Amino acid sequence: MIIVTKWDRWLIISIIFFAIMGMFFVKSITHNDEHLYLIIEVDGKEYKKISLDPSNPPSTVKIDTIYGHSIIEVGGDGAKFLESDCKDQLCVKMGKITKANQTSICLPNRVSIKLISKKSDVDSISY
């Protein structure tokens, strides 16, 4: 039988406390308020680059191609496919992208949207 002393309990509580505080610390230093840009690509070519500003009201971008029709909603905090005539509607169901380097793609219509920031660097390199 294992006997847990008063000091064992203090040790366990302090480890849990410092683990939780560490998570909050890491989250606070990784959260950055960088300026985001939305890049819309159609058939692999840049169609439009939009600066996202929280003070701007939401707007829509309509894209008509030989592959289909898409409507993208652009707001100050991100962008999403609002409407698309593709069969599976996965691009619409994905929802809003709000962080740098997030991407949403409508494959049947060959339209992609990606958020980038000026500070967008490579996180890691694989060989």
- The DSSP line for 26-86 is HHHHH-----EEEEEEETTEEEEEEE--TTSPPEEEEEE-SS-EEEEEEETTEEEEEEE--
Specify the pLDDT at position 123: 56
Which pLDDT tens digit goes with each residue over 47-101? 999 999 888 889 999 999 999 999 999 998 899 999 999 999 999 999 999 888 8
Assign residue 101 a region (left: φ > 0; alpha: ψ between -120 and 50; beta: otherwise).
left
On the question of pLDDT at 29 being above 60, the answer is yes
Whole-model pTM: value is 0.69
Specify the pLDDT at position 100: 86
Longest dimension (CA), the chain: 74
